[in-house]
Structures are given as structure tokens and as C-alpha cells.
Structure 1
Amino acid sequence: MKTTIFAAFAVLSTFLGTALVPSAALAECTDPAQPKVNWRRCYFDGRDLSSAKLAGAMLRDATFQRATLKDADLSETDSYRAKFFSATMPGVKLDGARLIEADFTRADLTGASLKETDLRNAKLVNAILHNANFTGARLGGADLRHADLSGATWIDGTTVCAEKSVGQCN
């Protein structure tokens, strides 16, 4: 009888031990900047991530307030609801990124590449978007109030916004 109880206990502990092991990797906010890194819900406020290679990274709900992402590669990232308030991002590459409900309020995106980017319901209020490329981007519901779109290539890939295009491409 004792042997049966111990055997049952051993089977149960083995089962519970493996059942409690998480199956998906959790975000590691201390991991170095690299392609496909999982920085979900991480804070990088004020950090210098210039030229960072983050293609394909998980950046959902991450914050980059006042961060520097000059010439960074954020293409193909999942940046749903990410926050880039007042971020310095000239030359950033966001091609194919999922930026639904992302917040770029007062961000500097001069010369940014936003080709095929999903910016539905994103906030670009007071953003600087000089010479940005929006070819193929999805902008449904995006808030462009007071955004400077001077010289930006519009979603059709041919229209270039006139100088002093503020809030809309003229």
C-alpha cells in the first residue's frame, strides 16, 4: 500500500511539475536590442536606441517616451498600442509594422519609412512627418491633428504632400 501511495504521489508531482512550466517565453525587458526580441509591456523611456535592429520584435504596449530611435529598424514589429510620445525617430524604418492604436504624439518621424504599415487608430498628433513615406500604409481612424506632413509620400505612392501640409496631405 505504501508503495502505491508513493508511486501515485510521484506521478502526480511529475504531472504538476510539467503542467506548471510556462509554454511561451515571457517578455525579458533586460534582453539586448535584437531582431524578434520580446519587449512586450517594457519601458524604454528616455533610452537611446539609435540604429537598433528590432525587425520582427514584439513591442505590444511597450513605451518609448522621449526615447531616441534614430535610424532604428522596427520593420515587421507588432507594436500594437506602443507609446512613442515625444520620441526622436528620424530615419526610422517601420515598414510592415503593426502599429494599431500606437501613440506618436509629438514624435519626430522625419524621413521615416512607413511602407505597408498598419496605423489604424494611431495617434500622430503634432508629429513631425517631413519626407516620411506612407506608401501602402493603412491610416483608417488615425489622428493626424497638427501633424506636419510636408514632403511626405502619401499612401498611393505617388502623391507628395505640399509644404505646410498640416493635419492632412495637400
Structure 2
Amino acid sequence: MGPAAGPAFADCTDVAQPGVEWRRCYHDGRNLQGANLSDATLRDTSFQRANLAGANLSGASGFRVRFVSANLQGADLTGADLSEADFTKADLSGAILKDASFRRARFFRAILRGADLSGADLDLADLLHADLSGATWVDGERVCADGSVGQCD
């Protein structure tokens, strides 16, 4: 009988994979389009200006992770714990943010057009100037009106 399978532990230069542990890594400007980072540990990691379009970040844990100006269009963040994450000027158009924790996260000038925020925890999150047009709100029922900026109208 072989060793029990556990989470993948990686250096910052290792290939993206489910369960990878990247702590205090810099992936600024990287192309991670469609990458599978489900259940990854991304604590204090930076993805500034990175392309994560269509990436799977479901179940990821990323306390204080930075997605400043990152492309997260269509990304799946279902059930992720991204407390205190920085999404300043990030594009989360069409992203799935269901049941994720964004406590104290910063979405300053982020684009959340058409995103699904059903069940998301936005306690103390900064949505200043965030574009929520067409987003499904945390109650899972209300769709934000076109032109909703900073709050769901």
C-alpha cells in the first residue's frame, strides 16, 4: 500500500494544480487562464495583472491574496475563503462567487458584471465604485440593475 494522498505542496515556481500550496508567492502578470487551483492555499500570494480567466479557484483559501487588475472573467470561486483579498480594478465579469467568503475584501473599481454572488459573505467588504450591473446578489434572488455601482440597486 502506497503513501496516503494529501495536498500537493509546491514551490512558487511549480505548475498550477488542485490543492497546490503557494504561500507568499508572486504570480504577477502570469497567464493562468483556465488553470485548476481548486482547494489551493494562496495565502499572501500576489496575482496582480495575472490572467485567471475561466480558472477554477473553488474551495481555495487565500487570506490577503492580491488580484489587483487581474482578469478573473468567468472564474469559479465557489466556496473559496478569500478574506481580506484585494480585487482592486479586477475584472470578475461572469465569475461564480457562490458561497465564498470575502470578509473585509476590497473590490474598489472591480467589474462584477453578471457575476453570481449567491450566498457570498461580503461582511465589511469595500465595494466602492464596483460595477455590479447584472450581478446576482447574495440573496440569490435579486439581480442588480444596469448601472449599479458600489451597491446592488
Q: TM-score, normalised by structure 2?
A: 0.93
Q: Does residue 49 of structure 2 align to residue 44 of structure 1?
A: no
Instruction: Indicate the structure with greater helix content.
Output: 1
Spell out, residue by residue over 1:125-147, the C-alpha distance to the aligned partner (whole angstroms, 9 max, x if none): 00000000000000000000000
Partner of 1:32: 15
- 1:132 aligns with one of 112, 115, 119: 115
Matches within 5 A, 1:42-121: 42-121=25-104
Alignment partners' CA distance in 2, 1:169 and 1:95: 20
CA contact (8 A) 2:119 2:140 kept: yes
CA contact (8 A) 1:98 1:118 kept: yes
Deviation at 1:40, TM superposition (A): 1.1
CA contact (8 A) 1:27 1:40 kept: no
Deviation at 1:26, TM superposition (A): 6.3
Deviation at 1:30, TM superposition (A): 1.4
The structure that has the greater radius of gyration is 1
Identity %: 58
Unaligned runs of 5+ in 1: 1-24
Partner of 1:123: 106
Partner of 2:3: none
- Report how many residues are paired: 146
CA-based RMSD: 1.0
Alignment partners' CA distance in 2, 1:61 and 1:134: 23
Unaligned runs of 5+ in 2: 1-7
Alignment partners' CA distance in 2, 1:58 and 1:128: 24
Alignment partners' CA distance in 1, 2:16 and 2:28: 14
Q: TM-score, normalised by structure 1?
A: 0.84
Deviation at 1:27, TM superposition (A): 4.9
Amino acid in structure 1 at the alignment position of 2:114 = N
Deviation at 1:31, TM superposition (A): 1.3
Q: 1:41 to 1:27 in 2, by over 3 A?
A: farther
**Stretches (4+) displaced over 2 A:** none
